[in-house]
Amino acid sequence: MKPTIAFTGGHHNSALVVAKELRKEGYQIIWFGHKFTSRGDKSLSAEYQEVTASNIKFLELKTGKFYRKSGGDWLMIAFGFIQSLLYLIRYRPSLIFSSGGYLSVPIVITGWLLSIPSLTHEQTVVAGWANRAISPFVRKILLTHESSLKNFPKGKSVVVGLPVRKEILSRKYTKAFSPPLIYITCGKQGSHVINQEIFPIIPELVKKYTVVHQTGANTETKDMEKARRLKDKLGDLRDRYQYAPYFFAQQAATYLRSAKIIVSRAGAHNSYELLVLGKRAILIPIPWVSHNEQLLNAQLVAKNTGSLILEEKDLTPESLLKAIIELGKSPKVKPSVKLPIDATKKIISIIHQYI
């Protein structure tokens, strides 16, 4: 039996691509992650659902965010280190693979104390707080973009790109929609902020488009229920509006590949996939993320695909509808950047060197 590899971090989509390939090679995989969408909410996270659907052992990890200063977070940080220690002693993986995010910090540092080697992957165009924090404790830092090289130790860092889901690259998931498709996707948790501004213009959009809307599953905001009530009011056009809390691999690939217009945040994975496919989008970056990385992602996508950036401070139903109309009328732009799509192979080759 081949050794066990532990996965953890904040970006599960690309890490799961790597985990699945390693499991095909016979490695045992365990996963430390978020079981629920957010603290206090009991909706199962997309991470939990996708990982467990892949028959990978999932272990819920609870910890605090290190860049916050509240007493509650410090208690959760201490709990996270204790929980990480107990997990690693029990399962004793031969390697830890991190994809950044605050969950990775206690696992990687505790692993270092137990002499378990770690690798980490940075997905953003800058350098996430967590990956900078754990960089002294990992053997290798794998980067998505060359622009990140200046932020990490040269001897440890190598540019590999971002693992892309096979479905995203497959033409069989391209579908013709009539009327054309608008795909609203806002990360694994959805976006209540964007939902509030998109709901009022859905009746106008379905006159000319098919609208597929990823609402998120948060039980506190009740956006799924709002989408249901809205659909019921659309009359003869109700079939043009489809919604779900989250779309998994094949559905997401179909909508992403087939959409005429995409409305989304500007996370690392979504931005990379838009660039790979050359898709145009209206990008609404999260304004409070570390180092304003989503705005930088959005600027990269806009520069190379003709996408539009709509900052959250300017977001209203009127401004969003105006941007959709403008993007719908503008000509397509041929992407001016070519990103690597063989990152999975490169990462697995590096993993083999440390296990």
SS3 sequence of the chain = CCCEEEEECCCHHHHHHHHHHHHHCCCEEEEEECCECCCCCCCECHHHHHHHHCCCEEEECCCCCCCCCCHHHHHHHHHHHHHHHHHHHHHCCCEEEECCCCCHHHHHHHHHHCCCCEEEEECCCCCCHHHHHHHHHCCEEEECCHHHHHHCCHHHEEECCCCCCHHHHCHHHCCCCCCCEEEEECCCCCCHHHHHHHHHHHHHHCCCCEEEEECCCCCCCCHHHHHHHHHHCCHHHHHHEEEECCCCHHHHHHHHHHCCEEEECCCHHHHHHHHHHCCCEEECCCCCCHHHHHHHHHHHHHHHHCCEECCHHHCCHHHHHHHHHHHHHCCCCCCCCCCCCCHHHHHHHHHHHCC
pLDDT number for residue 186: 85
The residues spanned by each domain of the chain are: 4-162+341-353, 167-329
Q: Is the pLDDT score of 60 beyond 70? A: yes
What does the pLDDT average to over 297-326? 96
Query: Which are the contacts of 142, defined by CB distance < 8 A and separation ≥ 6?
Result: 119, 120, 121, 122, 157, 158, 160, 346, 347, 350
189 pLDDT tier (thresholds 50, 70, 90): confident
Q: Is the pLDDT score of 72 beyond 70? A: no
- What is the CATH number that goes with domain 167-329? 3.40.50.2000
Write down the pTM of the prediction: 0.89
pLDDT digit string (tens) for 139-184?
999 999 988 899 999 899 999 999 999 999 999 999 999 999 999 9
Q: Same fold for the domain at 4-162+341-353 and the one at 167-329?
A: yes
pLDDT digit string (tens) for 94-125?
999 999 989 999 999 999 999 999 999 999 88
What does the pLDDT average to over 190-208? 96
Say which CATH topology domain 4-162+341-353 has. Rossmann fold (3.40.50)
68 pLDDT tier (thresholds 50, 70, 90): low
Q: Which residue has the higher pLDDT, 330 or 256?
A: 256
192 pLDDT tier (thresholds 50, 70, 90): very high
Summary mean pLDDT of the chain? 93
